[in-house]
Amino acid sequence: MRQTTPTIARAAAASLDARESARRSAWRRYARRALLAALALALYPAFVLGTVYNATTRSDLPGGRHGPKDAYRHSLASAIVAYTGSPRWVEWVTYAMEGEGGADPARAMDAHNNRIGARIGAEAESWDAMRTEILAAVERGGVEVDDPNRITWLPRERWQERLY
């Protein structure tokens, strides 16, 4: 039996509808994945900052800004990022936030402590071991230490008692 022109036209239209439906479905899958990726990218910094600020506020360390507590905050944040992501991420964020440190002792201190934290996080065998090692590293630290393996902070007269 021979197909008539309206039947062929209906088949062609159905084929176009099927392709359009598949295109819309693929777009929806892409949009859903992009939304989930954006959500994950937004949640990750919130996770890191929330974890760090929770630990920092619970610590009894003095010197919220430029002192041991600041050193703890920077090294812990960097360790968490290196442990859950990559030490390379710490390098990028440090460069963006602190630059090279340069002539600013506070920025140089932060960059120094970020590098130590990243190394501890990358080498940690567990979450608890990482947190324990960061606290121990801060306890072994000191004022204006010029040792790439020791946490450092500024002299007491530069400290500011605040959270950040």
Residue 9's pLDDT band, with cuts at 50, 70 and 90, is: low
Gap between the Cα atoms of 100 and 80, Å rounded: 21
Cβ(130)–Cβ(118) under 8 Å? no
**With 60 as the cut, is the pLDDT of residue 4 above it?**
no
pLDDT at res. 160: 86
| pLDDT tier for residue 13 given thresholds of 50, 70 and 90 | low
Range with the lowest mean pLDDT among 31-35, 84-88, 111-115, 155-159?
31-35
What local confidence, expressed as pLDDT, does residue 97 receive? 83
Average pLDDT, integer, range 20-35: 82
Residue 152's SS3 state is strand
Q: What pLDDT does residue 11 have?
A: 67
> What is the residue whose two structure tokens read 């340069």?
102
> How far is the C-alpha of 32 from the C-alpha of 23, rounded, in Å?
14
